[in-house]
Chain A
Amino acid sequence: GQNIDQPTEMTATEGAIVQINCTYQTSGFNGLFWYQQHAGEAPTFLSYNVLDGLEEKGRFSSFLSRSKGYSYLLLKELQMKDSASYLCAVRAPGQAGTALIFGKGTTLSVSS
Chain B
Amino acid sequence: SQTIHQWPATLVQPVGSPLSLECTVEGTSNPNLYWYRQAAGRGLQLLFYSVGIGQISSEVPQNLSASRPQDRQFILSSKKLLLSDSGFYLCAWGDGTNEKLFFGSGTQLSVL
**Which A residues lie at the B interface, using CB under 8 A?**
4, 31, 33, 40-45, 48, 50, 87, 89, 91, 96-105
* A97–B51 CB distance below 8 A: yes
B112 within 8 A of A: no
Question: Chain B contact residues (Cβ within 8 angstroms of A): what range?
Answer: 20 to 34
A98: which of B88, B96, B104 is its contact (CB, 8 Å)?
B96
- Measured in the bound complex, the distance between the Cα atoms of B108 and A43 in whole Å is 14
Instruction: Name the B residues within 8 Å of A97 (CB-CB).
Output: 32, 34, 49, 51, 94, 96
* B51–A50 CB distance below 8 A: no
B83 within 8 A of A: no
Chain A-chain B contacts (Cβ-Cβ < 8 Å), number? 70
10 A-B pairs with CB atoms under 8 Å apart are A33-B99, A44-B103, A87-B44, A97-B94, A98-B94, A98-B96, A99-B34, A99-B46, A99-B94, A103-B43
Please give the distance in Å from A69's CB to the nearest CB on chain B: 17
**Which B residues lie at the A interface, using CB under 8 A?**
32, 34, 36, 41-46, 49, 51, 57, 59, 88, 90, 94-96, 98-106, 108
- Measured in the bound complex, the distance between the Cα atoms of B93 and A45 in whole Å is 13
**Top 8 nearest A-B pairs by Cβ distance?**
A98-B94, A97-B32, A42-B103, A104-B43, A102-B44, A96-B49, A102-B43, A45-B100
B59: which of A40, A42, A96, A102 is its contact (CB, 8 Å)?
A96
Instruction: Name the A residues within 8 Å of B98 (CB-CB).
Output: 98
